[in-house]
Amino acid sequence: MEWIWLSIVYGIALAMDCLALSIDDGLVYGNLSIKKHFFIAGVFALGQGLFPLFGYLLGQAFSQWIDQYDHWIALVLLGFIGGKMVFEGIKGTLSPEITADCETTGRCKKFSYGEILVQGVADSIDALAVGITIKANIHLPSSSTYEVFIAFAIIALVTFIISLVGLFAGKKIFHLLKGKYEICEIIGGAVLVVLGVLILLEGLGYIQL
């Protein structure tokens, strides 16, 4: 049963990027409903569970392409979203309403289901390659069948829990900043850009996350 514990540990490791993203979302969408909390966490969990599964099913056929381009795709997607948020946040600070509390003025960042889906893809695409070597990573015998699918489910569940924790942490930070819309958006956008750069550097082999 060692593979179950290793799957949990593996899930925690893979979910660290999702933790950063969920804290970021809790920060910029400070007035999230419980339903949207579960939607965001569910998207991240599905990404971290399904993308490795796709990689496992594809096998070695596309592994070289995945290794070459996944980190670049993540950088472009996260960089675009984050850069746009930073730009809009800075633009907002130049207005007379710089100190406006978004909860009282209704000027909070508008929640976007599409943006969350893009985040989920950007953060999970590099996990395609994880699926190719999943059996070796969690010490499963080559003859195992259903266990590998259970491992993906465990990774998804761990990601879901960690993402929920991150969302509530981000919401707490939001309240500590007193709901200042522009500040929240600048910080949130910067986090996405930095995360995209870190994923790129890891993909190029310069750092280990």
Question: Residue 102 has what pLDDT?
Answer: 58
DSSP for 52-101, written as a single string: HHHHHHHTTTTHHHHHHHHHHHHHHHHHHHHHHHHHHHHHHHTSTTTT-B
Is residue 41's pLDDT more than 90?
yes
Counting runs of H as helices and runs of E as strands, what totals does the chain give? Answer: 10, 0
Contact call for residues 160 and 45 (beta carbons, < 8 A): yes
Question: Is 208 a domain residue?
Answer: no
Place of tokens 């979302």: 25
Is residue 99's pLDDT more than 50?
no
Question: Residue 74 has what pLDDT?
Answer: 77
Residue 165: domain span: 2-203
Question: Is 186 a domain residue?
Answer: yes
Per-residue CA distances from 88 to 27, 76, 91, 95, 170 (Å)? 15, 18, 5, 11, 19
Contacts of 63 (CB under 8 A, 6+ apart): 55, 129, 132
Question: Is 198 a domain residue?
Answer: yes
* Residue pLDDT, tens place only, 150-209: 999 999 999 999 999 999 998 888 888 766 667 767 877 788 788 788 878 887 888 875
For residue 131, which of 48, 22, 25, 16 has the smallest C-alpha distance?
48
Is residue 95's pLDDT more than 80?
no
Question: Residue 3 has what pLDDT?
Answer: 83
Contacts of 209 (CB under 8 A, 6+ apart): 16, 17, 198, 199, 202
Whole-model pTM over 0.85: no
Which comes out higher in pLDDT, residue 68 or 82? 82
Question: What is the SS3 assignment for 45?
Answer: helix
Segment 65-94 shows an average pLDDT of 76
Calpha distance 89→101 (Å, rounded): 13
The encoded tokens of residue 6 equal: 């290793």
Query: How many domains does the chain contain in total?
Result: 1
The number of angstroms, rounded, from the C-alpha of 197 to the middle of its chain's C-alpha atoms is 14
98: confidence class by pLDDT, cuts 50, 70, 90: very low
Percentage of residues in the chain having pLDDT higher than 90: 21
For residue 177, which of 35, 73, 26 has the smallest C-alpha distance?
26
Percentage of residues in the chain having pLDDT higher than 70: 80
**Cα end-to-end span (Å), the chain:** 27
Calpha distance 164→42 (Å, rounded): 9
Calpha distance 1→15 (Å, rounded): 22
Question: Is 209 a domain residue?
Answer: no
* Residue pLDDT, tens place only, 62-79: 666 666 777 787 788 778
